[in-house]
Amino acid sequence: MDGQKALALSRARNHNAGDYGLSGGNYDREKNQQKILKALQEKALSAGTLANPVAVNNLIDSLGNNLITSFDSGHIQTLLDIA
């Protein structure tokens, strides 16, 4: 699934013709969001992304304003050192 389809799936709420909407409404939306986040986590970990500072930086850049965290760059470096 590409990024556009994952985004559409994560936003789906209602069952409408031609979209990803499911009959469970927000409950199904939350389940789909959890599945997408889990898949992103697995992909990042399996590709060794977290051990590569350049790849981590690219990952953070690609997430852009869609991810909010209280980590600053020093915290991220500490996490990388631990990993």
- DSSP assignment string, 27-73: HHHHHHHHHHHHHHHHHHHHTTGGG-HHHHHHHHHHHGGG---S--H
Q: Quick one: pLDDT at residue 28?
A: 85
Q: Quick one: pLDDT at residue 34?
A: 92
* Selection from 54, 29, 41, 77 nearest residue 20 by Cα: 29
Per-residue pLDDT for 29 more than 80? yes
Query: Between these two residues, 39 and 48, which has the higher pLDDT value?
Result: 39
Per-residue pLDDT for 20 more than 80? no
